[in-house]
Amino acid sequence: MEFHPPILTAQFFRLLPIRLPDRILGIILVAATSAIAGFSESNESIESLSLTQLEDRKDSINLELSNLARYSLRSGIGPIGFRTAPKESPEAREFIQIDLERASAIDTVILVPAIWRDTQVGFQADGFPSSFRIVAGSGKEDSGKTIASVNNATTTRLAPYVVRCSNVTASWVRLEVERLSPRAFDGKYILQLSEILIFSDEENLALEKQLKTSSESTSNTRAWGQRHLVDGSLPYLMDSAHGSQSVSFVSTDIDESASIMIDLESPYIIDRINLHAVDQSDTVPQSFAGDFGFPVHLKVEGANQPRFDDAKLLLEFRRGSIYDVSQIVSKRLEPVPSRYIRITAIEPYKFEFIADSGEKFMRSRIGFAEIELYSNGENVALNKAVVSSIGPDHTVRSLEALTDGRNLYGNILPLQEWMLQLSRRHDLERELPLVDSELDRRYERQKANLQLFGWVIAGLIVCTVILFILDRFLRQRAVFRTKERIAADLHDELGANLHAIALLGDLAQAAKDTPEKAGKHLERIRALIQRTSESAKYVTNMLDTPGMYEDLIGEMRRSARRITTDLEHDLVIENEEKISQIKHRKRIDLFLFYNECLVNTIRHSGATKVETRLVAGNRDIILIVNDNGKGLPMNGSVSVPPSLKRRARLVGGKVSAANRLKGGACITLQMKF
């Protein structure tokens, strides 16, 4: 598994009322919940996020990156790390075991890769194991237990690889490599690491401890070696995201020895000292090897008297070569309670100086960017007073710079927090391109959707115009159909009634000598005139006429008696029970069609007999009207009278006409039920 340290979200950073010190910020970062930290390990994939969530995630990543330490790689000459002999197969096994001397609680193991400058992609890890286990145990007889197992690790990572542990107590830790990766130089399989850090809280337990490896380093340069795995040397410059620049202290010319004293204000048991080397010039290439101002031979003493009458030696360090010095030289001290700490350059740094005249002579300096003194994981020298008999060689340099907690790049971070921030930067910088890619895909899809939406809107506008035109056409047609229906109703209903009135008038005239018979004809004329009046009143919408044509069969019988007064008439109805199920409008149109047939027969056929048959089926209604008159006129074929065509169209049916062989005409109407 790969550990992802906790993050501070964008919302949290925005809510901070003040800029927190880096140490406090580091504690908050490490203590934050892994649920907040492990976005890439969460069940919610990038594809499942909404566009707004993706944009917020990108902003959150960029904001968090701006608050994390940056990759700044060392240059010049110095220790690199450890590497094994090259192997032909990636399956070759290698191990590195570190003896912690005593059982201690372990919470974090960090593997720092050896860095290689790739000609194509820039700086990359080289020889970092792709699959490995971390095993911890107590005592020589303990075979240990696996506290982490990593498969398919990113072997080109530039950042430290962080593994978090819980409830682990061990006196030794072993890295067991199960699969090697090829080095860039020749493709041979090899194990290379710059440093192994084992933390218990803020304390690096692996610092300067004994270790053993499965194979010896084969390099012929002192830059590679087992001891460099635990000497505290790292391939990075500490480049934090916060804090102002502090220029290193460099002394004027000194004698063979010079000292710097720090007053801690109260006694502490100092267990570790960090000496930050002077930051080199920012030119490329730089003007010094990387050890400028760092004494060749120095000692660290502790005392509780300001005159050092009770001085105790805490450390004596003599560097044999440039490979004993790195950007941060970390050394353990004898645990003696001390208030005053004195660092003495027994043999100072010397370099060749060329005067303007061209004369060459040797000069001596002592200088550090920062001096950190740790007691139980806390830098107790921070912002403490510094006293020395030597002064700085420039006005921008001062003794206060030795304990101000800052270097050339800003604030100095605790070692563990520095490694965690670099590891977190690696995770975020891998995630950010994925978020950007998904955002680009979403934006392209959104652009396509907007284009499609534009076409849809254009289509809707066109459809709206078409519907508007169609609506006007339908309204105009409806007006025409209404006018046509009114004309047809007037013609069929009122015309039939008026024709019937005329016939009854003739009958009444003929029966004037028979008052009783003439009176009956006059009563029928009166009733028909009243009905005609009602029909004229409701002819514009016969559907609104109360009770009109509810009894279609009765209406047809009565109409036949009125119109065919002098004719023999026979009306046959089949499936009378279905007739009542005909819709009201269709009943009216059917009745008026029948009336028109009878009127045409009386007016034009000269018939003496009329036969009507009405058949109501399950789906169709058929009306057949026969007479024995002279038949319909022929123009090549029998044509349907125009008034019947019009009424058939209104009723939504089909009308046909034929002449009977025995004489007379036959009109047939077929309409949907």
Most confident of 42-46, 153-157, 328-332: 328-332
Domain that holds residue 117: 79-236
C-alpha span between 95 and 149 (Å, rounded): 14
Most confident of 276-285, 354-363, 664-673: 664-673
Token couple for 673: 């039920």
The predicted pLDDT at position 545 comes to 55
**Domain closes at, from 236, 267, 300:** 236
Residues 334, 315: contact at Cβ < 8 Å? Answer: yes
- E strand map for 327-486: 328-332, 337-347, 349-354, 360-365, 367-368, 370-375, 378-379, 385-388, 406-407, 410-411
Same domain, 92 and 188: yes
CATH of the domain at 286: 2.60.120.260
Confidence at 565, pLDDT banded by 50, 70, 90: confident
Residues 623, 614: contact at Cβ < 8 Å? Answer: yes
Same domain, 232 and 255: no
**Domain closes at, from 174, 209, 236:** 236
In a domain, 314, yes or no: yes
**Domain closes at, from 393, 408, 423:** 408
Same domain, 226 and 107: yes
Given a cut of 60, whether residue 542 has pLDDT beyond it is: no
C-alpha span between 324 and 321 (Å, rounded): 6
Most confident of 171-175, 525-529, 544-548, 627-631: 171-175
Angle between helices 515-538 and 495-510 in degrees, nearest 10: 170
CATH of the domain at 629: 3.30.565.10
- Mean pLDDT value across residues 532-538: 62
SS3 per residue for 9-47: CHHHHHHCCCCCCHHHHHHHHHHCCHHHHCHHHCCCCHH
Strands 312-318 and 297-303: antiparallel
Same domain, 161 and 275: no
The predicted pLDDT at position 549 comes to 65
Given a cut of 50, whether residue 213 has pLDDT beyond it is: yes
C-alpha span between 192 and 223 (Å, rounded): 12
pLDDT 10s digits, 469-511: 998 888 777 667 666 666 666 666 666 677 677 777 777 777 7
Same domain, 98 and 227: yes
Domain count, the chain: 3
In a domain, 28, yes or no: no
Given a cut of 50, whether residue 382 has pLDDT beyond it is: yes
In a domain, 34, yes or no: no
pLDDT 10s digits, 34-77: 333 344 443 358 888 999 999 999 999 999 999 999 999 988 88
Same domain, 274 and 391: yes
Least reliable range by pLDDT among 4-18, 273-287, 518-532:
4-18
Share of the chain above pLDDT 70, in %: 87
Given a cut of 60, whether residue 163 has pLDDT beyond it is: yes
What is the average pLDDT score of the chain? 85
Same domain, 228 and 257: no
The predicted pLDDT at position 487 comes to 63
C-alpha span between 231 and 60 (Å, rounded): 36
The predicted pLDDT at position 583 comes to 83
Confidence at 94, pLDDT banded by 50, 70, 90: very high
- Mean pLDDT value across residues 288-305: 92
In a domain, 520, yes or no: no
The predicted pLDDT at position 538 comes to 53
Same domain, 265 and 384: yes
Count other Cβ atoms within 10 Å, centred on residue 540. 12
Q: Which residue(s) pair with 125 in the sheet?
A: 115
Same domain, 132 and 260: no
Same domain, 232 and 268: no
Residues 64, 428: contact at Cβ < 8 Å? Answer: yes
In a domain, 596, yes or no: yes
Given a cut of 80, whether residue 548 has pLDDT beyond it is: no
- Mean pLDDT value across residues 84-96: 93
Same domain, 91 and 205: yes
DSSP state of 280: P
> Who has greater pLDDT, 154 or 625?
625
Same domain, 83 and 203: yes
In a domain, 524, yes or no: no
C-alpha span between 390 and 259 (Å, rounded): 8
The predicted pLDDT at position 4 comes to 38
In a domain, 348, yes or no: yes
In a domain, 478, yes or no: no
Q: Is the pTM of this model over 0.85?
A: no
